[in-house]
């Protein structure tokens, strides 16, 4: 069994983890061009519990969220890259604009997002808290983003043309 799994498989994994007293951490995102900010964020997320599950936006949901030209990498590639990280335990691709369905079925012990989100605005907050879980934010690495990488590439391309 690999690290890229379906929601049904994740529920079994969560049930087994809970029976062993392990804490499940969930976060989500597009993770289009993996960068230092992502790595720092995912490492810190993992430290919140025992098993880190990453909900990955599908290609179609990234297009709706980020607009034309995104994602740059396919969901298969993005999932494989995330799964290769030692601190990511499982990756689950979802097609909706938000991970609300995933969160409501998974009921993680910890729901983690970056500090660019206000806790009150985090999708799934009420569901996680009402099931006894906690919602956490992690400080983001300043100046690191996929958008900045794209802008730098475009700027450099203009220079060499």
Q: Domain ranges in the chain?
A: 7-160
Strands in 51-57's sheet, in edge-to-edge order, are 90-94, 51-57, 24-29, 110-114, 134-138
User: For residue 16, how many other CB atoms are within 10 A of its CB?
Assistant: 11
Using one digit for the tens of pLDDT, what is the confidence trace for 28-65? Answer: 999 998 988 999 999 999 999 999 999 999 999 999 99
Which of 46, 65, 64 has its CA nearest to residue 54? Answer: 46
pLDDT of residue 143: 80
CATH of domain 7-160: 3.40.50.620
**25, 33 Cβ separation under 8 angstroms:** no
What is residue 95's predicted lDDT score, i.e. its pLDDT?
A: 96
> What pLDDT is recorded for position 152?
80
Question: Residue 92: beta bridge partners?
Answer: 55
Q: What is the rounded average pLDDT of the residues 66-73?
A: 91
The SS3 assignment for 43 reads: helix
| Token duo for residue 83 | 């799964």
Does residue 1 register a pLDDT over 70? no
Using 50, 70 and 90 to split pLDDT, how confident is the model at 128?
very high
Which pLDDT value is given to residue 31?
A: 95
pLDDT at 146 (0 to 100): 76
pLDDT band at 17 (very low <50, low <70, confident <90, very high): very high
More confident residue, 141 or 14: 14
């Amino acid at each position: 069994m690999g690290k890229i799994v379906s929601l049904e498989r994740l529920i079994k994994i969560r049930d087994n983890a809970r029976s062993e007293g392990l804490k499940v951490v969930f976060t989500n995102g597009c993770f289009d061009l993996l960068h230092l900010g992502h790595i720092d964020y995912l490492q810190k997320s993992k430290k919140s519990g025992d098993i880190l599950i990453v909900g990955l936006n599908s290609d179609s949901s990234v297009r709706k969220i980020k607009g034309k030209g995104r994602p740059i990498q396919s969901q298969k590639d993005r999932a494989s890259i995330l799964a290769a990280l030692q601190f990511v335990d499982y990756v689950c691709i979802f097609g909706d604009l938000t991970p609300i369905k995933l969160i409501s079925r998974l009921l993680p012990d910890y729901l983690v997002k970056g500090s660019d989100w206000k806790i009150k605005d985090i999708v799934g907050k009420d569901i996680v808290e009402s099931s006894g879980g906690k919602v956490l934010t992690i400080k983001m690495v300043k100046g690191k983003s996929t958008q900045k990488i794209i802008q730098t590439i475009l700027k450099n391309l203009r220079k060499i043309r």
